[in-house]
């Protein structure tokens, strides 16, 4: 009876033991870069050697991945070896297997060595001379000695390395593992890393603009400093409307910056007269600078479609505008021809810094309570035509372009 109880107790304990083992952190497997050089090898055999060595080494459970060096390689040439090592670091490979294949008559001479980039060790060069292998030998046993050399190096344990991350206390850092790290009150922390390793670090903190940074961890003790800036409450914009008329817009963004409200002015008083328009009136000396006594006062809202920490992004917005008529500087009124409308738009922007943005956007305009017949007759005078009357009081324009820059106000 006592033995039976112990047996059932053991069965109950086994699932918890297995779960505990699975939850323990496992060391990252080494990734391998294979660099081959060929001397007097027929072209049709090179492909067989490349595919078979990759297949043989990919079976090793001690490896976390196998990658071929894509550039020309010369075994034993210091400069070529150095370039392969640099590529291994960039691609996150800890081990570099250099192989030289030379055909001598009916035999094949192999030379190889394995370099551990992290431990900075190189295994002694090894040789193997055999008959030229056929497809069966390449698939079954030809690369066994090479695989043994790789496996002996791959199982060597690495000391745990760390990097320093500095940023605002309470910020969350992702990209170095499955779980996010939180910067403590000291504003600095030590994060465990594998070397070499490429990572995309993303740091977020409430009330601040998130940052994303791609880094290459190629040595212990690296330090990454994140200087987060508050979300811009106000953004000032200067643009060219239809690439002719200067305009301005002011945006206000709430704490998270996902959406915004805006207001501004699009004016037609002073602008660059396009070449086709300069010569439509038969003037001998047409003016480059010209305009029409009209301007738009608008207000609206929009949202960011892509994350604001990315250098390239997209957004969408929509404005309601009043079209104002300014026959003289002393009088101003709402334009009776097209008094108001809406302008939805989509845009793309590039942020070289967090304080400066270059953008371009495309929109359309829908005029309400308009004299569509008059607007349609004006469109007939333009080449090309960019508008059409939908009904006597509704007019649609499909060309409304803005391009310019934005500044984050302090």
What is the arithmetic mean of pLDDT over 246-260? 84
Q: Is the pLDDT of residue 96 over 60?
A: yes
DSSP designation for 258? S
Q: What is the pLDDT of residue 6?
A: 40
197 Cβ neighbours under 8 A, 6+ residues apart: 92, 216, 217
Mean pLDDT confidence for 64-91: 89
pLDDT of residue 328: 75
What distance, in Å, lies between the first and last C-alpha atoms of the chain? 79
Are 328 and 350 spatial neighbours (Cβ–Cβ below 8 Å)?
A: no
Which residues, 6 or more positions from 9, have their beta carbon under 8 angstroms from its beta carbon?
Answer: none
> What is the model's pLDDT at position 251?
94
| pLDDT classification of 290: cutoffs 50, 70, 90 | confident
CA 54 – CA 182 distance, rounded (Å)? 40
Q: Which of 158, 48, 53, 130 is nearest to 97 (CA)?
A: 53
Sequential DSSP letters for 173-201:
EESSSSSPEE--TTSEEEEEE-SSEEEEE
Residue 323 pLDDT > 90, yes or no? yes
- The predicted model gives 328-355 an average pLDDT of 90
Q: Which residue has the higher pLDDT, 90 or 257?
A: 90
What is the structure's pLDDT at 76?
A: 87
Tally of residues, the chain: 410
Three-class SS state of 280: coil
Q: Which alpha helices (H) appear in 114-178, and where do they start and end?
A: 135-140, 144-154
Who contacts 125 (Cβ-Cβ below 8 Å, separation ≥6)? 111, 112, 113
Q: Is the pTM of this model over 0.75?
A: no
User: Considering the chain, what percentage of its residues have pLDDT values greater than 70?
Assistant: 88
Q: Is the pLDDT of residue 94 over 90?
A: no
Interval 284-298 mean pLDDT: 79
Strand partners, 7: none
Q: How confident is the model at residue 22 (pLDDT cuts 50, 70, 90)?
A: very low
Structure confidence at residue 23 (pLDDT):
34
- Grouping H, G, I as helix, E, B as strand and the rest as coil, residue 142 is coil
For residue 129, pLDDT over 60 is answered with yes
The pLDDT value recorded for residue 284 is 53
Q: What is the pLDDT of residue 367?
A: 96
Tell me the mean pLDDT in the region 176-198.
85
Which of helix, strand or coil describes residue 125? coil
Give the pLDDT confidence score for residue 112 in this predicted structure: 94
Query: Lowest mean pLDDT: which of 95-104, 237-246, 249-258?
Result: 249-258
pLDDT of residue 391: 93
Strands 245-252 vs 234-241: parallel, antiparallel or unpaired: antiparallel
Q: Give me the mean pLDDT over the 83-101 stretch.
A: 89
Q: What pLDDT digit, counting tens, does each position of 349-408 carry? A: 998 887 899 999 999 999 999 998 898 888 877 777 889 999 999 999 999 999 999 998
Flag the least confident range among 14-18, 300-304, 346-350.
14-18
**Residue 106: is its pLDDT beyond 70?**
yes
If you average pLDDT over every residue of the chain, what do you get?
A: 84
Confidence check: pLDDT of 277 > 60: no
Band of pLDDT at residue 44, cut at 50, 70 and 90: confident
DSSP string, 7-30: HHHHHHHHHHHHHHHHHS--PPPE
Q: Is the pLDDT of residue 61 over 80?
A: yes
Mean pLDDT of 245-255: 89
Lookup: tokens for 372: 């569509």
CA atoms of 117 and 35, how far apart (whole Å): 14
């Amino acid at each position: 009876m006592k033995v039976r109880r112990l047996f059932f107790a053991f069965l109950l304990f086994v699932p918890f033991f297995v779960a505990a083992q699975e939850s323990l952190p496992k060391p990252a497997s080494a990734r391998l870069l294979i660099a081959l050089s060929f001397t007097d090898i027929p072209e049709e055999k090179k492909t067989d050697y490349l595919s078979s060595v990759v297949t043989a080494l990919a079976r090793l459970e001690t490896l976390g991945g196998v990658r071929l060096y894509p550039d020309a390689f010369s075994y034993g040439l210091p400069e070529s070896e150095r370039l392969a090592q640099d590529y291994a670091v960039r691609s996150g490979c800890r081990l570099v297997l250099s192989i030289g294949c030379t055909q001598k008559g009916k035999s094949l001479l192999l030379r190889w060595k394995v370099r551990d980039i992290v431990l900075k060790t190189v295994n002694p060069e090894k040789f193997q001379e055999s008959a030229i292998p056929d497809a069966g030998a390449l698939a079954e046993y030809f690369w066994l000695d090479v695989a043994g050399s790789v496996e002996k190096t791959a199982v060597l344990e690495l000391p745990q390395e760390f990097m320093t991350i500095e940023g605002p206390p309470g910020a969350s850092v992702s990209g170095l593992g499955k779980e996010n790290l939180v910067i403590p009150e000291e504003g600095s922390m030590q994060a465990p890393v594998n070397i070499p390793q490429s990572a995309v670090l993303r740091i977020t903190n409430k009330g601040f603009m998130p940052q994303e940074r791609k880094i290459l961890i190629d040595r212990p003790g690296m330090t990454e400093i994140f200087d987060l800036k508050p979300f811009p409450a106000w953004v000032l914009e200067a643009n060219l409307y239809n690439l002719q008329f200067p305009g301005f817009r002011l945006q206000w963004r709430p704490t998270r910056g996902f959406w915004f409200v805006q207001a501004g002015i699009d004016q037609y008083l002073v602008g660059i007269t396009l070449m086709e328009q300069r010569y439509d009136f038969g003037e001998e000396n047409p003016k480059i600078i010209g305009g029409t006594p009209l301007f738009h006062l608008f207000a609206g809202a929009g949202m960011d479609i892509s994350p604001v920490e990315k250098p390239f992004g997209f957004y969408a917005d929509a404005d309601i505008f009043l079209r104002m008529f300014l026959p003289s500087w002393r009088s101003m009124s709402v334009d009776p021809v097209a008094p108001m409308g809406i302008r939805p738009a989509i845009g793309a922007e590039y942020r070289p810094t967090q304080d400066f943005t270059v953008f371009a956007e495309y929109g359309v305009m829908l005029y309400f309570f308009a004299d569509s017949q008059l607007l349609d007759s004006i469109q007939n005078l333009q080449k090309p035509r960019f508008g059409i009357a939908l009904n006597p009081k509704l007019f649609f324009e499909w060309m409304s372009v803005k391009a310019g820059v934005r500044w984050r106000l302090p």
